């Protein structure tokens, strides 16, 4: 017999995007749920351009508890939500929505904390007092700026193909720390301890035009993209003597873990989930 409050039903979550069929989020949240004993259902929903708001309204009407949002709807999600965490407010992009009482939508952006947790907690690296170069000024770059600046880098330079976007972004975040923006040409004679690729160039098998002199001794190169084989940026890092090279799989799992904590109030262990996904990438 069903009751008014059917506590036996699993809570409903989903990721919305376009395209979304490749998304690893259903797999990651399925592993988190199994590990923490949480009952939930998590699916991937393909949404047509222009259809995001209606899709969210339908999801809420059908009893949905929370959403992840991916390309190209993170800005739409930011506009749609009723309230935002400070980091989401600053990022101008929302990748996590919690459906609260009476269907109120609360937005967060967990990409940046996911990146920082992967660098600092998983890989024992540091951002504090380091000279950091962030390549790209799109949604991913915006999302990671405030968590990166919170770590207290010695400097953070944003370099982008369209220089004005990097300069504008740096201006928006300048209250949070030492951040400047420039074009790739302005990087000649500069050296960095940590270079993070937040461009989508790797997705197309491309590489931003980077000078081979960029890397300081002991430099770490981190590509937000991940793949079974080294991305063009990771290959560039290898050729130019980076001491450490990482892809974005750890960031992906860590940003998902932050969403899971927001929704379920339980923190999943990420190491085994990263290892499982890594094995499944091969």
- Return residues touching ligand NDP (CB under 6 A): 71, 111, 114, 136-141, 160-162, 165, 198-203, 206, 208, 224-225, 248, 251-252, 255
Smallest gap from Cβ 257 to ligand NDP, in A, equals 11
Between vectors from CA 226 to CA 225 and to CA 228, what angle results, nearest 5°? 150
Smallest gap from Cβ 118 to ligand NDP, in A, equals 9
DSSP state of 12: E
Inter-residue contact 143 to 114 (CB < 8 Å): no
In the bound state with ligand NDP, the residue whose beta carbon lies nearer, of 105 and 196, is 196
DSSP state of 13: E
Asked about 130 being catalytic, the answer comes back as: no
In the bound state with ligand NDP, the residue whose beta carbon lies nearer, of 121 and 129, is 121
Least Cα distance to 99 among 81, 121, 119 occurs for 81
DSSP state of 191: -
Smallest gap from Cβ 113 to ligand NDP, in A, equals 11
In the bound state with ligand NDP, the residue whose beta carbon lies nearer, of 114 and 181, is 114
- Supply the angle between the helices 25-36 and 271-281 in degrees, to the nearest 10: 140
In the bound state with ligand NDP, the residue whose beta carbon lies nearer, of 64 and 250, is 250
In the bound state with ligand NDP, the residue whose beta carbon lies nearer, of 248 and 268, is 248
Smallest gap from Cβ 160 to ligand NDP, in A, equals 5
Tell me the C-alpha to C-alpha distance, in Å, between residue 17 and each of 23, 67, 121, 176, 177. Answer: 9, 11, 29, 30, 32
Looking up tokens 């009952």, which residue turns up? 39
Tell me the C-alpha distance between 75 and 139, whole Å. Answer: 8
Smallest gap from Cβ 256 to ligand NDP, in A, equals 8
Give the active site residue among 9, 74, 175, 244: 74
Position with the least CB separation from ligand NDP: 138
In the bound state with ligand NDP, the residue whose beta carbon lies nearer, of 4 and 76, is 76
- The sheet carrying 11-17 orders its strands as 40-46, 11-17, 64-69, 96-99, 105-108, 83-84
Tokens linked to 145: 């700026």
Alpha helices in the chain (DSSP H): 25-36, 52-61, 74-80, 86-91, 111-117, 139-150, 163-173, 232-239, 249-264, 271-281
Smallest gap from Cβ 86 to ligand NDP, in A, equals 19
Between vectors from CA 85 to CA 142 and to CA 70, what angle results, nearest 5°? 50
Active-site residue list:
74
């Amino acid at each position: 017999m069903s009751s008014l409050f059917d506590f036996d039903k699993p809570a409903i979550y989903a990721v919305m995007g376009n395209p979304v069929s490749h998304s690893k989020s259903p797999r990651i949240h399925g592993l988190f749920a199994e590990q923490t004993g949480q009952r939930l259902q998590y699916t991937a929903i393909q949404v047509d351009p222009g259809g995001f708001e209606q899709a969210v309204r339908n999801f809420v009407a059908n009893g949905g508890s929370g959403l992840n949002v991916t390309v190209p709807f993170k800005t739409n999600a930011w506009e749609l939500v009723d309230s935002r965490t400070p980091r989401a407010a600053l990022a101008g992009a929302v990748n996590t929505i919690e459906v609260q009482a009476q269907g109120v939508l609360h937005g967060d952006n967990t990409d940046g904390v996911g990146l920082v947790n992967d660098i600092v907690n998983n890989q024992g690296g540091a951002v504090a007092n380091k000279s950091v170069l962030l390549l790209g000024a799109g949604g991913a770059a915006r999302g990671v700026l405030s968590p990166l600046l919170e770590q207290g880098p010695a400097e953070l330079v944003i370099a982008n193909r369209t220089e004005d976007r990097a300069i504008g972004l740096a201006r928006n975040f300048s209250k949070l720390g030492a951040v400047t923006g420039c074009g790739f040409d302005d990087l000649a004679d500069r050296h960095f301890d940590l270079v993070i690729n937040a461009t989508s160039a790797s997705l197309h098998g491309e590489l931003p035009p980077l000078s081979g002199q960029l890397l300081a001794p002991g430099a770490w190169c981190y590509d937000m993209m991940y793949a079974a084989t080294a991305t063009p940026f990771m290959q560039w890092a290898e050729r130019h003597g980076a001491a450490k090279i990482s892809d974005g799989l750890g960031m992906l799992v860590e940003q998902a873990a932050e969403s899971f904590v927001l929704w379920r109030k339980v923190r999943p262990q990420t190491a085994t989930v990263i290892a499982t996904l890594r094995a499944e990438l091969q």
